[in-house]
Amino acid sequence: MLKYAEKIRETALKLLKEDRIDTFIGYRKGTVPMMNEPVLITDPDRVDQLHWDSFCALNLCNYLTKRTDRIGIVATGCNSRNIVTHIVENQIKRDQLYIVGIPCEGMIDHRAVLRAVKYREILDIREEGDRFLVKGADFEETFEKNKFLQSNCAICTHRNPVIHDEMLGEQVEEQSGVEPFTDVEKIEEMEPVKKQAFFTRLISRCIRCYACRNACPLCYCPTCFVDESSPQWVGKSSDPTDTMTFHFLRAYHCAGRCTDCGACERVCPMGISMRQFTKKLNKDCLDLFSWEAGLTLDQRPPLDVYRPDDYNDFIR
């Protein structure tokens, strides 16, 4: 993945110098290991800030919403699918964008790395091919990247960008034989009481910081339902009922639109696996509508359209 950093800088420089874009959105290297910061570059002299590695796991599409300038943007498979969704939902125009595609081999799960080094403080991480080297004050360990992929990346079948103006590398082979919904199936089999207990436990640590909502490019409402105060829809205390309402409704708002980019889980300061909610809806969309979000500009998401001649019985 590291090899793309230089290519991103070259491309951004070219695009800015040739006045084909006004701004370029990518990442710059973080100040702490396993963290990178989304950055907006307008000055060609500052493209050297741009960086790329296996910890670029936010969703840059989040920064496109309602921009009016001409933007160059780095996009992996999932990020590109969110760009498609954004275009379909009129949050950005296709002709404003110059999409720099990166064939993605998955992002590294920073929590899994911490577990592997037994929570000792990591001072530096270096990627070398399909391995990475983790350094602390008194240890040095090498791991295979493939065993440390974020759980959404491990089941991803759209690693190559679905929309792009330029690709920075050869397409990577898509993963085959993955079973993306084994965890969802387990929950589906639970008795309702057990299900409720499972979800209650899942979100018990939530502090209502809304990092999951805000990291998600799908959440662009001018006023979110949890922030609505007249009338107030959801209580603002740490009452579990309100917290559950937030998580359920947030997930439902993503139905048919979620690309399983994993940004919500990546950013959660409390380590909550809220993809358990959205994955169920992704599975339903696939089962009921043969739909995966963000693969085409020609179709609106399934819960966004109604056709009298719909062939599904359940919708009539």
Partner 1 sequence: MTDKIFSKEEWLAGLKALSQTYRVFVPVKDGDFHTFMPLDNGKIPDFDYQNTRLSPKSIIYPQSERMFEYSLDPESPEANVLKESSKDYSPMAIVGIRPCDAHAFQIVKRNFDNPEFRDPWWVQRAESTTLVGLGCNEPCSTCFCTELGEGPFGQEGLDLLLYHMGEGFLVKGLTQKGEELLGKITGGRPANDQDLKAAGDLAASASGKTGPAVPTDRLREKVTNDLFNAPFWEEVAFACLNCGTCTFLCPTCWCFDIQDEVLGKAGDRIRNWDSCMFPLFTLHGSGHNPRNNKFQRVRQRFMHKLKYYVDKYQNGVQCSGCGRCVRYCPVNIDIREVCKLMNNYA
In the complex, the smallest distance separating the C-beta of residue 156 from partner 1, rounded to whole angstroms, is: 20
In the list 171, 238, 299, 312, the residue contacting partner 1 (rule: CB under 8 A) is: 238
Say whether residue 69 binds partner 1 (CB under 8 A): no
Query: What's the min distance (Å) between Cβ of 145 and partner 1?
Result: 20
Please choose, out of 26-34, 71-79, 191-199, 282-290, the segment that lies near partner 1 by the rule CB under 8 A.
26-34
Residue 102 or 264: the one with the smaller Cβ distance to partner 1 is 264
Q: Does 93 bind partner 1 (CB under 8 A)?
A: no
Whether residue 103 contacts residue 161, with contact meaning beta carbons closer than 8 Å, is answered with: yes
Report how many residues bind partner 1 under the rule CB under 8 A.
40
Contacts of 100 (CB under 8 A, 6+ apart): 8, 11, 12, 72, 73, 74, 75, 164, 165, 166, 168
* Residue in 271, 291, 295, 274 with CA at minimum distance from that of residue 283: 291
Please identify, using beta-carbon distances, which residue of 38 and 169 lies nearer to partner 1: 38
- Interface residue with partner 1 among 3, 20, 66, 115 (CB under 8 A) is 115
Site string for partner 1, 258-287 (x = CB under 8 A): --------xx-xxx----------------
Q: Does 44 bind partner 1 (CB under 8 A)?
A: no
**Is residue 210 involved in binding partner 1 (CB under 8 A)?**
yes
Sequence letter at residue 2 = L
In DSSP terms, 149 is beta-bridged to: 108
Under 8 Å between Cβ of 60 and 75: yes
The residues binding partner 1 (CB under 8 A) are 30-32, 35-40, 58, 62-63, 111, 114-115, 119, 121, 123, 137, 207-211, 213-215, 227, 229, 232, 235-239, 266-267, 269-271
